[in-house]
Structure 1
Amino acid sequence: MVEIHGAKQGDTVLDVACGPGFWTELLVEQVGPHGHVSGVDIDSELIRYAQESHADLIAQKRVNFRVADMRSLPFEDNSFDTVICGNAYNYLSKEELPKAIQEHMRVVRPGGRLSIRTFDNTMSLYHPVTSTVLLSVMHGMAKNLQQQRNFDNYLGRKMHGLLTQLSLGPVTTHTFVTQKTQPLCKWSLEYVQMKALWCAEKADGYCPAEDLKIWCELFDPKSPQYILARPDFYFNTTEMISLVAKPEVS
């Protein structure tokens, strides 16, 4: 995914909604000793954590972090070779989304690119779960989420078309499937369980109670129906990266 972002040696990169800096070290490797990575996030605690955990890179002036709202960036026009935003657009309203995209393109240099990573959770698969239960829970979740204004669980499939309609530059999209199979490390186990319980929370009241009961038992370590320890367990989820190339100044 980092390679798809297109950052090159010597580039300046802005990581929008960087959180605690999960991608920072990978981006630093991409831009090399003469490049620079900036991270912004609206959460001051996450920025503090990013600053503490990347203190050496900050001292080398290869990285900096600051608190900022992704909808209004504190940078001049044409400041960065690459601007990336990972899984944050899903949390914007339909009205905010095109404005945020244009704001992020504003700080991209001509010839640079905006790289947007989004998720699309309709595509998540869990096995062994019967198709009827899986589809019932996913349908219930979708019925609930269609009422949400500031969260789009299914944005991944829409980004390419939206960016094309905005006519900001040539658009390319890449799709990534992340899968989890046995043996599951502690982090993977917690990740899959968290996602499954989140689906249950959203589907509650919007799908048959019996289907929801079966679903919850499948992810409960105390249940004999628990599937995360089974050797045939399989999970996948889908993310998309869409890139917009900012035209060179003629």
Structure 2
Amino acid sequence: MGFGSGVGIERLSCLASAGYIAGIDNSKEMVEQATVRNREEIEGGRVDLRLGSVESLPFEDNKFDKVLAVNSMQVWTDAVVGLRSVRRVMKEGGTIALGLLLIQGKQVAD
């Protein structure tokens, strides 16, 4: 969730070479950049990148084993609704990893 320019998606697709990776970002520009960066994996059907919000994930129930969000939760409109949406798309016993880096007075770049 919130894949930005797609660097993390690119890395995950190398690490999970037999897996399916889906992502959502609320920025049209980031979806475009990530799509260019991950074009080969998208064309091969292993990566699916979409424009949208975490509060309304466009994926079926119980689809994913793992969910990852790094430095995106702070821009979710409603964290509780977002987490409920994440839970809906996760399989029973799935794993979620949320990362948030805040440095007071400084902006942290990707």
Residue 113 of structure 1 pairs with residue 95 of structure 2: yes
For residues 74-93 of structure 1, give each alpha carbon's deviation from its aligned partner in whole angstroms, at most 9, with x where no partner exists.
Answer: 11111111111111112246
Structure with higher RCO (Cα < 8 A, 6+ apart): 2
Where structure 1 has 5 or more consecutive residues not aligned to the other structure, the ranges are 1-15, 123-140, 142-194, 199-236, 238-250
Q: CA deviation at 1:25?
A: 1.8
* Aligned partners of 1:21 and 1:39 also within 8 Å: no
Change (3 A) 1:92 1:54: closer
**Residue matched to 1:19:** 4
Larger Rg: 1
Preserved contact between residue 42 and residue 48 of structure 2 (Cα < 8 Å)? yes
TM-superposition CA deviations, 1:129-160 (whole Å, max 9, x none): xxxxxxxxxxxx5xxxxxxxxxxxxxxxxxxx
1:11-58 Cα deviation digits (max 9, x unpaired): xxxxx11112120122112212x2111111111121111111211111
Aligned equivalent of 1:47, options 28, 31, 38: 31
- Is 1:98–2:108 an aligned residue pair? no
Aligned alpha-carbon RMSD (Å): 1.8
Distance 1:63 1:92 in 2: 23
Q: What whole-Å deviation, never above 9, does each CA across 1:205-239 have from its counterpart, x for those lacking one? A: xxxxxxxxxxxxxxxxxxxxxxxxxxxxxxxx8xx
- Secondary structure of 2:101 counterpart: strand
1:38 matched to 2:22 = yes
Equivalent position of 2:63 in the other structure: 79
Question: C-alpha separation between the residues in 2 aligned to 1:92 and 1:41?
Answer: 10
Q: TM-score, normalised by structure 2?
A: 0.86
3-state SS, counterpart of residue 102 of structure 2: strand
**Residue in structure 2 matched with residue 67 of structure 1 by the alignment:** 51
For residues 186-206 of structure 1, give each alpha carbon's deviation from its aligned partner in whole angstroms, at most 9, with x where no partner exists: xxxxxxxxx4xx5xxxxxxxx
1:29 to 10, 14, 24: 14
Match of residue 186 from structure 1: none
Is the contact made by 2:3 and 2:24 (CA closer than 8 Å) also made in structure 1?
yes
Tell me, what secondary structure is at the counterpart of 1:121?
coil
State the percentage of identical aligned residues. 27
Scaled by the length of structure 1, the TM-score of the pair is: 0.40
Q: Please tell me the residue identity of whatever aligns with 2:75.
A: Y
Range with greater deviation from structure 2 (84-93 or 73-82): 84-93
Tell me the amino acid that sits aligned with residue 97 of structure 1: A
Aligned length: 108
